[in-house]
Amino acid sequence: MTGATSGIGAEALKHFAKLPDTKVYVGVRGSGRIVPKGTEVLPLDLSSLKSVHSFADNIKQRLGNTKIDILVLNAGVQATDNKKRSEDGFELTFATNHLAHYLLARLFLPNLAKGGKIVITTSDSHDPAIIFFGPKTLATKELAYPNEDSPKGMRFYAATKLCNLLTARSLASINVEENRSVGVIAYNPGLTGDTSLMGKQSVFIKILLPVIILPLFYVISMFKPAFFMGTAKRSGEALAELALGKVTLPTDKIYASLVRGKLTFPNPSQLAQDNNTRDLLWKESAKMVGLPE
């Protein structure tokens, strides 16, 4: 699992750690991280492809012939500008949210158990029909190497979340082609206020949050449910319900969206359903991480 140290992932991890006869491995950056008993922590910095490879090698060594039942790719950062770069020179949010998870999914695909599951956390901000700044086009190379005119802030973040959704669709289609019986779920936890993602906002937003933004969102959510502010507890619980198969998706659906605390199964955005966009992202990402198409 990635993204298990705070917010939605930390809440989901509580559910995984309680399972009997289950070994949970989490990839974390830095040291001294507190995780529930029985969870094994391994170093992983998603902003470095080298670190992603060594995390995958580490896990594979520990697993031997044992297969992975559930792979949860939940970590994420929110872009404030598009000027920061990863160790490999890619824009940091794109590298963390998309490229690292794309690589992890590909590296672990052969190790997944039949009937296993991959859950990738996306966001309804990928959909311009729901959130106005959602992407209407996708230019992968521009996300990797943005220029002055490229999307910034939440627009940029939303594009990386579209990448998560398209990657989930690619994995689902490989699964069908190769008859692997691995379930793939792209999960939108919806607006979740009490996570570090929000905490990493600018001081200006932090001051406005309790006095203006939250009350405003509450009013707007009466008409537009996507603006409902959920809790990390419920968003994490819903992630665990999906991963553990306590809630199952209707046949042929891969997108699960938490709306007002309830799991729903809408179609993703039009662009997310476009197979050319999906296949192009897969190919361009493969080149960027140095894997065959």
Hey, what long-range contacts does 22-26 have (CB within 8 A, 24 or more apart)? 25/1, 25/59, 25/62, 26/1, 26/2
CB of 37 to ligand NAP, least distance (A): 18
Q: Kindly tell me which of 113 and 217 has the beta carbon lying closer to ligand NAP.
A: 217
CB of 183 to ligand NAP, least distance (A): 19
> For residues 257 and 266, what is the distance between their CA atoms, to the nearest angstrom?
7
CB of 54 to ligand NAP, least distance (A): 13
Q: Kindly tell me which of 80 and 196 has the beta carbon lying closer to ligand NAP.
A: 196
Which residue has the CB atom at the shortest distance from ligand NAP? Answer: 7
Determine which helix (DSSP H) or strand (DSSP E) holds 284, and give its type and residue range. helix 275-289
CB of 275 to ligand NAP, least distance (A): 24
> For residues 238 and 246, what is the distance between their CA atoms, to the nearest angstrom?
9
Beta strands at 183-188 and 255-259: parallel, antiparallel or unpaired: parallel
- Residue ranges binding ligand NAP (CB under 6 A): 2-9, 29-30, 44-47, 74-77, 96, 121, 123, 189, 191-192, 195-198
Using CA of residue 258, residue 261, residue 263, residue 264, what is the dihedral sign?
negative
Beta strands at 112-121 and 24-28: parallel, antiparallel or unpaired: unpaired
Q: Kindly tell me which of 29 and 279 has the beta carbon lying closer to ligand NAP.
A: 29
Q: Kindly tell me which of 47 and 140 has the beta carbon lying closer to ligand NAP.
A: 47
> For residues 240 and 233, what is the distance between their CA atoms, to the nearest angstrom?
11
CB of 102 to ligand NAP, least distance (A): 14
Q: Kindly tell me which of 133 and 279 has the beta carbon lying closer to ligand NAP.
A: 133
Nearest residue to 9 via CA among 23, 28, 22 = 28
As given in the structure block, the two tokens for residue 118 are: 């991959």
